[in-house]
Amino acid sequence: MSDHVSIWAELADVDHELRHVTVSLADGNGVRTRVLRAGAGPDLVLLHGTGGHLEAYARDIAGLARSFRVTAYDMVGHGWSDLPDVPFTVDVLSDHLLGLMDVLGIARAHLSGESLGGWVAAWTAAHHPERVERLVLNTPGNIANKPEVMARLKASTTAAVADPSDATVRARVAWLFHDKSMVTDELVDLRRAVYTRDGFRRAVDNILVLQDPATRARYSWDAAWVGRITAPTLLLWTDHDPTGGLDEAQMLLDWLPDARLHVITGAGHWPQWEKPDEFVEQHEAFLGAETAAAVRS
C-alpha cells in the first residue's frame, strides 16, 4: 500500500469543502446530509453502496476533480447523515438525491453509483430523466436478485453492527475487496465509527429492507423500468465482484437502450478503491473530459 497512506492524505493537496446541508424529503422531513465537493466543470455526483459513506471515493476525488465538479455524499441513513426511522427503499434514496441536487443548485448531472448507489442512480435516471446527463453503474450489485447474495450481505452487515468488533467489521469491509491487503485499519475503524453511531442499530434494519425479497421485488432491476433510461450508460464491472458476474452485466446491456461495458480486472466490489487510475480514466473518457476542460477554461 505504498501508494496509499490514508484517506485524508488522498485529499491533502485537493481543494475541497466538507459540510452538512439540510435536504427535504417528499414527506417533508429535513435530513442533515454530509457532503464533500471538489473541482470545477460539469457536475458529477458519486453515490456509495449499502451501509457505506462518501469516503468510498477518497482515492478518486483528486483525479475526477481535474475535469468535473464532484459531489460525494452520505445517503440518508448512511455515514454521518441523519438516520430517520423510515425504510430506506430505492425511491426514498432517489428522493434524497434529487433533494440534495436541488439544495446544491444542480439542475442536471452525471451520476456514478457503486452497488446500491448504482441502483439509486439508475432508478433516478429512469424516473427523472431530465436530471441526468450520463450514467455510470459501477458494480451495481445482484441484478438477478439472487437470494444467497442478499442473505450474505444482510448477515455480514447485521453481525458487524450488532457486534462491532475488529473481526466482524473487518470481515464486512474485506467482502468489498479482491486484494484483501487493501483492507486497512483506517477503513475498518472508519466503518466501525459509522456502525456505532447512536441509532445505527435501528438504521441498519431500515437499510437492509432491500435485502428482503418481498420489499426488493417492488424495486428489482427489471427491463420494464431499466428500458426507460435514456441517459447514455457505462457499466463498470470487475472480474471478482462477489455480487454477480458478467452474465448480469449482459442483462443490463440487453435492457438499456444506450450502454457499453468496461471490465476492470483484478478488483472486487470496490474498483474505485482497488483500481483508482483506471476508474478515473474511464469516467473521463465516457463523460467527456475534453468537454469538461473546455468548460473550465
Q: Show me where the domains of the chain are located.
A: 8-144+222-296
Dihedral pair phi/psi, residue 260, rounded to 5°: -140, 160
What confidence tier does 271 reach under pLDDT thresholds 50, 70, 90?
very high
Q: What pLDDT is attached to residue 281?
A: 97
Question: Distance (Å, rounded) from C-alpha 34 to C-alpha 18?
Answer: 7
Instruction: Over range 274-295, report the average pLDDT.
Output: 80
43-47/69-73 β-pairing: parallel
Q: Which region, left, alpha or beta, applies to residue 115 given φ > 0 means left and ψ of -120 to 50 means alpha?
A: left
Q: What pLDDT is attached to residue 292?
A: 44
Asked whether the beta carbons of 146 and 88 are under 8 A apart, the reply is no
Q: What pLDDT is attached to residue 2?
A: 54
Amino acid at 113: G
Query: How many Å from the N-terminal Cα to the C-terminal Cα in the chain?
Result: 35
Question: Distance (Å, rounded) from C-alpha 105 to C-alpha 123?
Answer: 21
Question: Distance (Å, rounded) from C-alpha 46 to C-alpha 110?
Answer: 9
Q: What is the pLDDT of residues 84-134, one digit of tens each?
A: 999 999 999 999 999 999 999 999 999 999 999 999 999 999 999 999 999
Q: What is the pLDDT of residues 52-75, one digit of tens each?
A: 999 999 999 999 999 999 999 999
Strands (E), the chain: 16-24, 30-38, 43-47, 69-73, 109-114, 132-138, 233-238, 259-264
Amino acid at 110: H
Nearest CA among 222, 179, 258, 207 for reference residue 48: 207
Q: What pLDDT is attached to residue 289?
A: 54
Q: What is the pLDDT of residues 158-213, one digit of tens each?
A: 999 999 999 999 999 999 999 999 999 999 999 999 999 999 999 999 999 999 99
Architecture of domain 8-144+222-296: 3-Layer(aba) Sandwich (3.40)
What confidence tier does 1 reach under pLDDT thresholds 50, 70, 90?
very low
Q: What pLDDT is attached to residue 8?
A: 86
Question: Distance (Å, rounded) from C-alpha 258 to C-alpha 122?
Answer: 13
Average pLDDT, the chain: 94
Residue 294, pLDDT > 80, answer no
What confidence tier does 293 reach under pLDDT thresholds 50, 70, 90?
very low
